[in-house]
């Protein structure tokens, strides 16, 4: 696939008023979500849940793509239609999570590095045949006493860059996700500093690995106060700090930036995105790639009746997609 084709897909992922729904939870993670609402973590329940999400009527009006898990990209609706076909028929681009999760970074207490590069080239080829047009790799940067270290930031940036280069080699748009974690009592200024250093290291590594930025999407965390910080930044402070940080570290040639919700409440994630877009125009579209902030309300409704509440749960999914689509245009109001 040419860089022009990759660039076309990347631009479609951040089309005006559209964003990404992340339904790429591992089986262990979705088990926790199901347990919280009393649902057994069976393969059929996982399949039915993701069918409910992906078959939401008119979802493609506000959702450009969906990140799937390995199990999900191989599944079909109860009527036997592959999920990837359902998505493409509704204008939703299939994506796939390809990392193997975080592991302790040797020699760096309290820090982690994401693994999964071994065998990735062959896995990407298979995912492309299954219909994936973009992929996602998440790195985790923790803030704490004397961390993050330069070693941790560089190790994760290097892995993200190697992953991105392999994606483009296989004709898949890489979504690079260096998440600066909200956990901790740090203030917003500390989050800004760590996020800026992390992004600068990432884009330096992407350059060193000859990754074509025109065919790459950044999935970024917002610049926010730590969850346990005594002074929580306002919506406007978060918006202004995040935009300033991105402008200082992210090249303008990038097709777009999507944000993770990172443990924020549904409404806070939407409000922050809306406030950022109200500050525009920006060098790149600012949109969303939300998981919990798109699904949590629908999961609670669906869990009460896995068959009878499908339509009601889908109404909630669509409402969240619509609200975040408006926020991506700076036109949402609470």
Domain membership of residue 254 (yes or no) is yes
pLDDT-derived band at 300, boundaries 50, 70, 90: very high
Domain membership of residue 141 (yes or no) is yes
Q: Where in the sequence is the domain holding 289, given as residue range(s)?
A: 3-327
Selecting among 219, 227, 300, 331, the annotated active-site residue is: 219
Domain membership of residue 332 (yes or no) is no
> What are the tokens at 106?
């040797």
Q: Active-site residue 219, yes or no?
A: yes
Q: Active-site residue 177, yes or no?
A: yes
Domain membership of residue 177 (yes or no) is yes
Per the CB < 8 A criterion, the answer to whether 261 and 269 are in contact is yes
pLDDT at residue 292, as a whole number: 86
Lowest-pLDDT range of 22-31, 46-55, 74-83, 165-174: 22-31
pLDDT at residue 31, as a whole number: 95
pLDDT-derived band at 334, boundaries 50, 70, 90: low
Domain membership of residue 299 (yes or no) is yes
Domain membership of residue 334 (yes or no) is no
Measured from the Cβ of residue 242, the count of other Cβ atoms closer than 10 Å reads 27
> What is the bridge-based pairing of β-strands 102-104 and 112-114?
antiparallel
Domain membership of residue 333 (yes or no) is no
Q: How far apart are CA 332 and CA 33, in angstroms?
A: 28
Selecting among 111, 177, 179, 196, the annotated active-site residue is: 177
Give the CATH number for residue 118: 3.20.20.70
Domain membership of residue 203 (yes or no) is yes
The number of distinct structural domains making up the chain is 1
What backbone torsions phi and psi does residue 138 show, to the nearest 5 degrees?
A: -110, 130
pLDDT at residue 188, as a whole number: 97
SS3 label, residue 281: coil
Q: Is the pLDDT of residue 278 over 70?
A: yes
Q: How far apart are CA 76 and CA 81, in angstroms?
A: 5
pLDDT at residue 333, as a whole number: 83
User: Whole-number mean pLDDT of the chain?
Assistant: 96
DSSP code string of 13-81: HT-TT-EEEEE---HHHHHHHHHHTT----HHHHHHHHHHHHT-TTGGGTEEEEEE-HHHHT-B-TTS-
Q: Is the pLDDT of residue 262 over 90?
A: no
pLDDT tens-place string over residues 106-156: 999 999 999 999 999 999 999 999 999 999 999 999 999 999 999 999 999
């Amino acid at each position: 696939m040419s860089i022009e084709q990759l660039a076309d897909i990347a631009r479609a992922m951040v089309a005006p008023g559209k964003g990404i729904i992340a339904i790429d939870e591992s089986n262990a993670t979705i088990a926790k979500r199901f347990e919280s609402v009393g649902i057994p973590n069976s393969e059929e329940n996982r399949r039915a849940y993701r069918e409910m999400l992906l078959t939401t009527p008119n979802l493609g009006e506000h959702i450009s793509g969906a990140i799937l898990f390995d199990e999900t990209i191989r599944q079909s609706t109860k009527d036997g239609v592959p999920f990837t076909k359902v998505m493409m028929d509704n204008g939703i681009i299939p994506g796939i999570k390809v990392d193997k999760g975080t592991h302790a970074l040797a020699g760096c207490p309290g820090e982690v590095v994401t693994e999964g590069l071994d065998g990735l080239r062959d896995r990407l080829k298979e995912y492309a045949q299954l219909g994936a047009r973009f992929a996602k790799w998440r790195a985790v940067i923790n803030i704490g006493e004397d961390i993050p270290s330069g070693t941790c930031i560089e190790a994760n940036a290097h892995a993200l860059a190697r992953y991105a280069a392999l994606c483009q080699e296989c004709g898949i748009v890489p979504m690079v996700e260096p998440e600066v974690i909200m956990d901790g009592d740090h203030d917003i200024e500390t989050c800004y500093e760590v996020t800026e250093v992390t992004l600068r290291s990432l884009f330096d590594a992407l350059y060193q690995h000859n990754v074509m930025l025109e065919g790459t999407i950044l999935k970024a965390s917002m610049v926010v106060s730590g969850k346990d910080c005594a002074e929580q930044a306002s919506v406007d402070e978060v918006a202004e700090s995040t935009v300033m940080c991105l402008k200082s570290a992210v090249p303008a040639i990038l097709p777009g930036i999507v944000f993770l919700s990172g443990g924020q409440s549904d409404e806070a994630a939407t409000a922050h995105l809306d406030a950022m877009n109200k500050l525009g125009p920006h060098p790149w579209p600012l949109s969303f790639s939300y998981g919990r902030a798109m699904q949590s309300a629908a999961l609670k409704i669906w869990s009460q009746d896995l068959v009878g509440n499908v339509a009601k749960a889908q109404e909630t999914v669509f409402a969240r997609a619509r609200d975040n689509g408006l926020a991506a245009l700076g036109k949402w109001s609470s």
